[in-house]
Amino acid sequence: MTEREKYLDDLKVLPIGSELIGQYCDYTYSIKRQKMGHLCGYVILPDGVVIDQSNENNYNVHGGITYNDGKKIGFDAAHYDDWNSIITMEGSTYKDVNFMKNEIVKLIDQIEEKKLPVGINV
């Protein structure tokens, strides 16, 4: 199956402009399909969990954290090695909804591992 065929199949799961919302480990997450066709993944941070610019590089997620408003962090699949319907590089691969869900689970697990017990301040 070509990257384009994977993309077209994935559009049936999550059309352009739509959003999938889910739950994992008491975290709410979303996956949004952007106008260019690529996907972005977001995790809403619970009260007391802070990921600021000084520590967001401590999280291993596809392409790194590219969105952080203090209450929600996110990443995208619009990097040079990510296939999209507008610009493609040789050897790029399409990142589908399942890929994004797996990355979100990985990110939430990392947040949980790094979370300090309540009442502990650093």
pLDDT of residue 120: 47
Task: Please state the pTM of the whole predicted model.
Answer: 0.90
Return per-residue pLDDT of the chain as tens, 122 residues: 999 999 999 999 999 999 999 999 999 999 999 999 999 999 999 988 888 778 888 999 999 999 999 899 999 999 989 998 887 788 999 999 999 999 999 999 999 998 755 544 44
Task: Quote the tokens at residue 111.
Answer: 């947040």
Cα dihedral 114/23/105/91 (nearest 10): -140
Structural domains present in the chain: 3-114 (3.30.1460)
Q: Are 86 and 34 in contact (CB under 8 A)?
A: no
Q: Reading across the β-sheet that carries 19-24, which strands appear in turn?
A: 19-24, 27-33, 39-44, 72-76, 67-68
